[in-house]
Amino acid sequence: MPEVTSGFSSKQAGLSWANRVAPLLNFNPQYHEPFLHYLQIVSLNVSNYTAAPAFQNMLNQVEMAIEELEHNLAFAPAPTVSQGTAPESGPSVLKLEPNIYGIGVNLPALWQRAKSWFRKGKS
């Protein structure tokens, strides 16, 4: 985006760009939180002496995030193709979904595992 290096046509155009970029940095709070901090500074009615360094810091956060993603892609293990099917172990007892504390318990699967464990113990 040439406006990033050469300057935006207006403050509103720069803020619009920042508002579109901010959610993309959500993958890592190390980049997202400082970006939002500097975005708040830039969005205020401040002088160019304050806004320009804050905007430069926003760009730095974006560049670091891009470098991290490129690094992760470069060193990511190659996907493997399974030659057969994985053995069925039944549904997982723990599930990572949006719950109260981020981890839920699959009660029907837990009940089935407990029943099968007790049956194996009796025989």
Q: What is the pLDDT along the chain (123 residues), one digit of tens a residue?
A: 566 767 788 888 888 889 999 998 988 889 899 999 999 999 999 988 998 899 999 999 999 999 988 888 888 777 766 665 555 566 665 555 555 555 565 666 767 777 777 777 665
> Would you state the torsion angle of the CA atoms of residues 50, 56, 58, 59, taken in this order, to the nearest 10 degrees?
160
User: Rounded distance, CA 20 to CA 1, Å?
Assistant: 13
So what's the pLDDT on residue 92? 63
User: Rounded distance, CA 63 to CA 69, Å?
Assistant: 10
Phi, psi of 95, rounded to the nearest 5 degrees: -135, 135
Strand partners, 105: 94
